Chains A and B, each alone.
Chain A
Amino acid sequence: MTLLDFARGPAMQWALIIFVAGVSFRLIGILMFGRKKPLSPARGNATAAGYRTIFSRAMPNAVFRKRVGGKYITGTLWHVGFVFVLVFFQPHIAFFEGLLGLSWPGVANSIVMPVAGITLIFLVLAFVRRLTDPVLKVLSDTGDFVTLIITALPLITGLLASAHIGLRYETMLAVHLLSISLLLVWIPFSKLMHIVLVIPSRKRLGAKLGYKGVKA
């Protein structure tokens, strides 16, 4: 069995199993744990506040806009770029089609590749900021840096494979697929779980604060 056979077969198989099992385990736990019903009467529309918060948290608070605006822009561009490359690169569409049976139009490599390169730059900026910012340094633990590296690996290896730089194509493709497997395994057990939890947690927080009449 070659490295590519291993990456396309058993490695991806177990990564997907661990990913879906890990996400399911955590989601069921969170959903079933439940919350105590508030005893006080509602001072606002909790449901509306919940949905509003899903979007409002994507923008910096007006008070802090000058200080954190740049970080929001960097973070947003990184996320948009990552999702764009993930969703619109043609071989990725083929991957999802094989897994889900769904397909959609993609874009040319001449668009995807520069986007991937720029996206990687934003991730590197985030990494450097985490290393240099005194507050972030204190807040960050090893897991945060490991998460950043594991997130960057598919982008780096994907770019190298597409550009035929470094190892032979089949080896680089295998390394790329293995890096994706590593990312899939890491997601349920790290802060990357926010991929799944970001929307429900924002809604929950917004609803909780909205019920109390607090602007979230």
Chain B
Amino acid sequence: MSDRISLGERLKLHGISRRALLKFCASTASMMALPPAMVSAAAANLEKLKRPSVIWLSFQECTGCTESLTRSASPSIESLIFDTVSLDYHHTLQAASGTAAEAAREAAMEESYGEYILIVDGSIPTGNPGYSTIAGIDNLSMLKDVARGAAAIISVGTCAAYGGLPMADPNPTGAVSVADALPDRSIINVPGCPPIGDVITGVLVQILAFGNIPELDHLGRPMAFYGQNIHDRCYRRPFYERGLFAKSFDDEGARKGWCLYKLGCKGPVTYNACAVTKWNGGVSFPIQAGHGCIGCSEPRFWDKGGFYQPLSQTTFSDPGKLGIAVAAAAAAGAGATLMARAKQKKVREELSAEESS
């Protein structure tokens, strides 16, 4: 539950200096491309912050987003921030279970009504309420109930942000995104399958530190992390410009780090911080590991043709249709020509008949 002790006081209790908090704020501000002047303001706001309540709802999901979050949280100061943020309800991370867990959620909602932050991962099934339930409550009802008292709502992961894998064709559960389930609320989308852990915490910190919703793009994503496409920031980009491409995952080009465009990399049309922030504390990201971007932070990435099909290729993959078109047109052309020739012959015969008479 949220309590009366501020983050600054809690940091002191844990032996964390203000310098460490400033360093954290500086690195977070740098990730979000905020001006340096904002660092001290963010630190001051965070220090004063009372433990805000966070309710994390998991619906049709795989827990990958939580996995990503925990990778970010340890062992940096972010873990402290999350100790300090009162994570009152989270299936995977909370100690309580069953009735006690639901009681914790209801208590947090009642105590911090209108102030708590709601984080959602997973899509919401609408085909049948029974497809996914928690404590006997269907996902849509729980989402609407909890969203009512939330100060801010964050959709973490592509499933919550856009429907994700559960919504992939043919969408058997009638899955929808949080934004579609709550059309009257503004939602902050933090997509990715999963999103980068540092991005999840970065967005949360920005909301906590400045008390406002960050600048969002047309898909509801924070511009600070989703403002540029991966291709523009990719270290393999010079090879694209030089026309040097890996043709398979184990060829000479792949070993030399050439561009993965021809192996289906979706970096040019994917907006995310992977090439800049990277994963696991800045160690690497999928393209650096040798696999093309699959565009997981974009809506319906699962239904955009093959992951290994280059962007410039058509997703039309039925040469048989072209063959049928050629055959039908050739037959029509032949028919039209035969008719024209017959008409020509008839006219010629009529003319010669006129001449002879």
Binding site for B on A (CB under 8 A): 2, 4-5, 8-10, 12-13, 16-18, 20-29, 32-34, 90-92, 94-95, 97-99, 106-110, 112, 164, 169-170, 173
Contact = CB atoms under 8 A, between A and B. Distances in A.
A155 to B, nearest CB: 15
User: Which 8 A-B pairs give the minimum distances between C-beta atoms?
Assistant: A28-B333, A98-B313, A21-B329, A13-B316, A91-B312, A94-B310, A170-B269, A25-B333
Contact of B315 (A9, A25, A33, A169): A9
Contacts, number: 122
B232 interface: yes
Contacts of B261: 90-91, 94
Contacts of A12: 314-316
A21 B325 contact: yes
Contact of A94 (B262, B318, B340): B262
Given A8-B305, A16-B322, A109-B243, 7 more contacts: A13-B318, A25-B332, A28-B329, A29-B336, A90-B240, A94-B313, A108-B241
B313 A8 contact: yes
B326 interface: yes
Contacts of A2: 299-300
A140 B309 CA distance: 42
Interface of B is mostly: helix
A103 B274 CA distance: 31
Contacts of B50: none
A169 B313 contact: no
A21 B321 CA distance: 11
A13 B305 CA distance: 14
Given A25-B333, A98-B310, A33 B326 contact: no
A31 B271 CA distance: 52
B311 A91 contact: yes
Contact of A22 (B232, B305, B329): B329
B242 interface: yes
Nearest to A92: B312
Contacts of B334: 28-29, 32
Contacts of A91: 261, 310-312
Contacts of B330: 24-25, 28
Contact of B231 (A18, A92, A169): A169
A24 B327 CA distance: 8
A94 B260 CA distance: 12
A18 B261 CA distance: 29
A174 to B, nearest CB: 9
Contacts of A33: 337, 340-341
15 contacts: A5-B300, A8-B313, A9-B315, A13-B314, A16-B322, A20-B329, A22-B329, A26-B333, A29-B333, A92-B312, A95-B313, A98-B309, A108-B242, A109-B241, A169-B269
A148 to B, nearest CB: 25
Interface string B285-309: 0000000000000011000110001
Contact of B314 (A22, A27, A98): A98
Contacts of B315: 5, 8-9, 12
Contacts of B338: 32
A17 B314 CA distance: 13
Contacts of B242: 108-110
A21 to B, nearest CB: 4
B245 interface: yes
Contacts of A107: 243
Nearest to A13: B316
Contacts of B229: 169
B268 interface: yes
